[in-house]
Amino acid sequence: YKQNVLKRAKALLSKKGMGRLPGIDGKAKMSKSLNNAIYLSDSPDIIKQKVMSMYTDPNHIRVTDPGRVEGNTVFTYLDAFCKDKKNLAEMKEHYKAGGLGDVKVKKYLNEIIQAELEPIRNRRNQYQNNMDYIYEILKDVSNQTRNIVSQTL
């Protein structure tokens, strides 16, 4: 009673321009209903298949053709996930000048996404294969919450 129970929330905002990722088709935001998403539960093979089918520059037909980075879904994902910004900048320049194929860029993106999702996938599998542990966690948290609420109210 008359205690400060709730804490003021702090905004967690994404980097400018990184609010949402486009779908793998490049047409809209990534969405389950549009079937253009990469799911955390996807297997490595499914992720590779989705990355390799991603929308790129339609005018970049041959490796030697210069490509457009703007609007290229693969580069949008690389901007979001690639930690080696220097290598990414060089790759973009090479792509713009010609001489870098879409397949090579997609393979690079696949490696990055696989590395990013592997720990998530492993942890998910660990929990999925041990449901007794999940129920134990839920029970413990429920008891802790009950104790806190009884002290607060």
Task: Give pLDDT tens digits for 63-103.
Answer: 999 999 999 999 999 999 999 999 999 999 999 999 999 99
Q: What is the mean pLDDT of residues 127-136?
A: 92
Identify the structural domains of the chain with CATH numbers, from first to last.
Answer: 44-152 (1.10.240.10)
Residues 127 and 134 sit within 8 Å (Cβ to Cβ): yes
pLDDT of 153 higher than 80? no
Where b means 16+ CB within 10 Å and e means fewer, 93-123 reads eebbeeebbbeebbebbbebbeeebeeebee
Q: Give the separation between CA 46 and CA 52, rounded to whole angstroms.
A: 10
Tell me the pLDDT tens digit for each residue of 106-115.
Answer: 999 999 999 9
